[in-house]
Amino acid sequence: MTDLVPSALRPQHPVPRSLSGLVDEFDIDVRGEIDGIEVTGVSLSSRNVQPGDLYVGVPGRNSHGAAFADAAAAAGAVAVLTDVEGAKLAQARGLPVLVTPDARAALGAVAAWIYRTDENPATLFAVTGTNGKTSVVYILYAILTQLGVVSGLTSTAERRIGDVAVTSSLTTPEASELHALLARMREAEVRAVGIEVSAQALTRHRVDGLVFDIAGFTNQSHDHLDDYASMEEYFHAKLELFQPDRSRRGVVTVDSDWGRRIVDECRIPVTTLTTHPDIEAAWRMSVVDETALYTEFVLEGPDNRTLQTRVPLLGWYMAANAALAIVMLVESGYDLDAIAHSLDRDGGIRAYIPGRAERISGERGPLVYIDYGHSPDAFLNTLGALRKFTDGRIFMVFGADGDRDTTKRADMGAIAARGADVLVVTDFHPRFEDPAAIRATLLAAARDAVPDGEFYEVPDPRAAFRQALSLAEEGDVILYAGPGHEDYHEVAGVKVPYSALEDSRQALREAGWLS
């Protein structure tokens, strides 16, 4: 059973460090008296400050974090780390002020020093890629648990130490939270940690202060062009993970040109993985069987090593994610035969991934899957996997993010129309955009792709799912793509409580398909 904890995971028994020692270590300018002051934690938000913290004030979208030094002091902060501009705001607040040119860029190294990250014995696995990061991290966690290794993870869905978990707000936490999490894991004697590393995490210094033992690359496809000017810039953000100051070794899926470029342009030792019979790689994954309940595959590697197992997840791409996780484990020193023995004993990989092609339907009625995928490539792969075992019609409920990459919307609408038989277009986090305009773009692309398609426009996601359910029959499949594990619907800056998982289950109960 998961024990959900309502706040960020920090060490329960922090070891104080001298503030003057920190200043000497990083040659930081000091304004105020620091003799005798000890620091036990780091916080980037005044709302999360705990007694003994170093509060880090950085420029924000609307204000400078240093302006909240009063609130940080009231909560128990012992000093402020900020830039020159922030020092002007914080200096009169009564706390010593440590000044550095770029506080955000300094945060990772400072947090690593305060939390003694270099003393952590755990093997660190980093996973990057447009799609599949969460799945690989959870599969790593599952296999390690089956091997008897105390493990942890941090993902888009949650941060986890054994059965203790907190809900995530960012794919990769801020450096202050990440180093605190690793310190808590050290207390729990965690020996291996899987960490999702988004391109934004690398660009925005969230994994600074860490050197990963193994970095894995899943893929790169159209996404996040609201953050990056081009796919090339997006690629170079991910390439940074495969450099010596970030990772010691890499495992790269080379099914695409992007993966092959990682291999060519990285500066660390890497091994390669493919799912294609005509691509050269050290490791090769082949699917043996695909069903609604599992995907079975064979992994072949150097020296004629093989492993055959199954993952209780939908589609070849989940087998590819599992293969990547296994090769990452082997590259870190785990024995392939030991992995195979554990998986054979347990009937396969015992992985549960919240909201990733998660089947929520029962034995009767249409099959219903809730999925987090909200990119063209995710739509293509999931719909293709469903088609392989669906005798009836495929219904797809989806929308598109507001205030996010607008260039992928037309592809999403067209791929959905070609891959599904019936579309129900709804609202998905419109944020500050006009939701009707987002829906119109998706529907226009769908109609261009399939002019005579069966399409419905239902703004309310609750009503949208029920529209699909009212039309579906036994043998059909409903894919609700986008919300996955999330428990809110963001409209005009307000996060309205909404869980697609729970509401869809309720709709199935209302329809008599689920007890």
Single-letter code of the amino acid located at 341: H
Are 197 and 321 members of one domain?
Answer: yes
What is the domain-level CATH number for residue 385? 3.90.190.20
362 and 463 belong to one structural domain? yes
Residues 129 and 59 in one domain: no
Tell me how many domains the chain contains. Answer: 3
446 and 391 both lie in a single domain: yes
* Domain carrying residue 418: 358-510
Instruction: Report yes or no on 353 lying in a domain.
Output: no
**Is 272 part of any domain?**
yes
Say how far apart CA 75 and CA 27 lie, in whole Å: 27
Residue 43 lies in a domain: yes
Do 78 and 130 lie in a common domain?
no
**Do 255 and 227 reside in the same domain of the chain?**
yes
Check whether residue 89 and residue 126 sit in a common domain: no
Per-residue pLDDT of the chain (515 residues; tens, 9 = 90+): 344 333 478 999 999 999 999 999 999 999 999 999 999 999 999 999 999 999 999 998 889 999 999 999 999 999 999 999 999 999 867 899 999 999 999 999 999 999 999 999 999 999 999 889 999 999 999 999 999 999 999 998 888 998 788 877 666 789 999 999 999 999 999 999 999 999 999 999 999 999 999 999 999 886 656 677 898 998 999 999 999 999 999 999 999 999 999 999 999 999 999 999 999 999 999 999 999 999 999 999 999 999 999 999 999 999 999 999 999 999 999 999 999 999 999 999 999 998 888 999 999 999 999 998 888 988 998 999 999 999 999 999 999 999 888 999 999 999 999 999 999 999 999 999 999 999 999 999 999 999 999 999 999 999 999 999 999 999 999 999 988 888 888 999 899 999 999 999 999 999 999 98
Q: Do 212 and 315 share a domain, yes or no? A: yes
Separation between Cα atoms, residue 176 and residue 150, nearest integer Å = 23
Judge if 146 and 289 occupy the same domain.
Answer: yes
> Pick from 90, 111, 132: which residue ends a domain?
111
Q: Are residues 12 and 86 part of one domain? A: yes
Q: In this structure, are 234 and 308 located in the same domain? A: yes
What's the pTM? Answer: 0.89
* 156 located within any domain: yes
Task: Identify whether residues 231 and 292 lie together within a single domain.
Answer: yes
Residue 399 covered by a domain: yes
Residues 6+ apart with CB under 8 A from 72: 43, 46, 49, 53, 55, 57, 80, 95
Say if CB 78 and CB 53 are below 8 A apart: yes
Identify the sign of the CA torsion 506, 378, 275, 212: negative
Range 296-302, long-range pairs (CB < 8 A, 24+ positions): 296/348, 297/322, 297/323, 299/323, 299/326, 299/327, 301/327, 301/330, 301/336
Please identify, among 66, 84, 111, the residue that sits at the C-terminal boundary of a domain.
111
Indicate the residue type of 161: I
The backbone torsions φ and ψ at residue 419, rounded to the nearest 5 degrees and listed phi first, read: -90, -25
